[in-house]
Amino acid sequence: MSEPVTVPEAERTTGRVATLAATAVAPRVPRAGWAIVARKELADHLLSARFLVLVLILGLAVVVPLYIASNQIRSLAPVASEDPAAFLALFQLGSQDFAFLRLNLLVTMLVPLLGLAFSFDGVNGERAEGTLPRLLSQPIHRDDVINGKFVAGLAVIALVLIALSGLVVGFGIFRLGILPRGSELLRIVVWTLVTILYAAFWLALGTLLSVVIRRAATSALVGFGLWFAMTFFGSLVASLLANLIAPAGPNASAQETLHNLQVADLLGRLLPSTQYQEISAVVLDPSQTHVAVPRTIDEIIQAQQQVPTLFSLDQSLLLVWPQVVALVALTVLCFAAAYVLFLRQEVRA
């Protein structure tokens, strides 16, 4: 019988050493690479001049409507003390001469600036500085880069909006001398979360623009142009399109006029700002029992004859749940498009 062939001890030792050396040299991909990117981006955002300027602008813009609203509430102190939602009026009351000086309306106009400011140069800024190839050469997955940047931007915006809500509550307690009820605090918390969701849509849109457009300046112009058009001209464009689809002239019947208003309302709801305004109005006002234009003349008469009532928070959320779902869908759609395009782009050193 032939003896079995054995591998010399020296060869076995050499093989083990080579295996250990290869294991030590091979880079390990961290499981939470996006968290590493997010921490670095978060630190950069918090220490940047951009963050300080935006917080200062938002704070100064909020102080004026807060002061006006608190003066109106104090002038109606006997009536306001019996109102179950008097504290929430801080978010809705404003100047009678300047309709835009209301806290919820100013937030609708200014919050998109936060989302765009922290995302318009997220990817193309790295590309322009030549740091994107070095970043992708690190032992992290490629999608960790865009995920970490989005999470960091959303964390900064959430921090600003939570501080803003705390500022409003503290100012109201100091200025009015009343404490908000538990139901009012809960509505303020829900409003803050919805506002963060609204900002997340603009953050995702800015991220998409930074992936698609190579130059940061161009993506900033496109993003702020879209914000300006949607915020200030969206309702006007919806009305013009409604007049083309369902014209209602001076001699139009009541049914034709109502149909024109319904079409304008439907087109206006395609805008994220309109969706957020409807959610904000219902969440901050328990007496708001409808958001859509009535479909028939009978519904208008029934709405006028309706006994004033106050909705609970869950009833208010059911009323605007379609708008919340639409905002979530738009945010996911924009970020998914940015995610897919970024993974498919070629990055050269």
Percent of the chain with pLDDT over 90: 18
Domain that holds residue 109: 31-344
Please tell me the chain's helix, strand, coil percentages from 3-state DSSP, rounded to the nearest 5.
75, 0, 25
Q: How confident is the model at residue 202 (pLDDT cuts 50, 70, 90)?
A: very high
pLDDT at 36 over 90: no
pTM of the model: 0.82
Q: Does residue 4 fall inside a structural domain? A: no
Give the mean model confidence (pLDDT) for residues 15-29. 47
CA distance 189 to 187: 5
Q: What is the full DSSP assignment across 190-238?
A: HHHHHHHHHHHHHHHHHHHHHHH-S-HHHHHHHHHHHHHHHHHHHHHHH
Confidence category of residue 294, pLDDT binned at 50, 70, 90: low
Angle at 95 between CA 316 and CA 113, to 5 degrees: 65
Q: Answer yes or no: are the C-beta atoms of 41 and 152 closer than 8 Å.
A: yes
For residue 79, tell me if it sits in a domain.
Answer: yes
Structure tokens at 99: 């309709």
| CA 322 – CA 306 distance, rounded (Å) | 23
Q: What is the structure's pLDDT at 335? A: 94
- C-alpha 18/C-alpha 36 separation (Å) is 31
Q: How much is the pLDDT for 1?
A: 45
For residue 301, is it left (φ>0), alpha (ψ between -120 and 50) or beta? alpha
What pLDDT score was predicted for residue 296? 56
Asked if residue 16 belongs to a domain, the reply is no
pLDDT of residue 239: 79
pLDDT value for 249: 67
Residue 9 lies in a domain: no
Note whether residue 26 is domain-resident.
no
22-36, 137-151, 241-255: range with lowest mean pLDDT: 22-36
Reported as a single tens digit per residue, the pLDDT across 120-155 is 888 888 887 878 778 777 777 888 889 999 999 999
pLDDT tens digits, 316-335: 888 889 889 999 999 999 99
**The pLDDT of residue 319:** 87
When pLDDT is averaged across residues 167-185 and rounded to a whole number, the result is 81
Determine, yes or no, domain membership for 22.
no
Domains of the chain: total: 1
The confidence band for 303, taking pLDDT boundaries of 50, 70 and 90, is low
Residue 169 CA: distances (Å) to CA of 22, 71, 106, 349: 59, 15, 17, 50
- Mean predicted confidence (pLDDT) in 17-29: 47
Residue 100 in any domain: the answer is yes
**On the CB side of 103, how many CA atoms lie within 13 Å of its CA?**
30
24 belongs to a structural domain: no
pLDDT tens digit string along 66-112?
Answer: 777 777 776 665 555 555 667 777 777 766 666 667 788 888 888 89
Q: What is the mean pLDDT of residues 32-49?
A: 85
Examine the pLDDT at 30 and tell me if it is beyond 70: no
Task: State pLDDT tens for residues 269-278.
Answer: 788 888 898 8
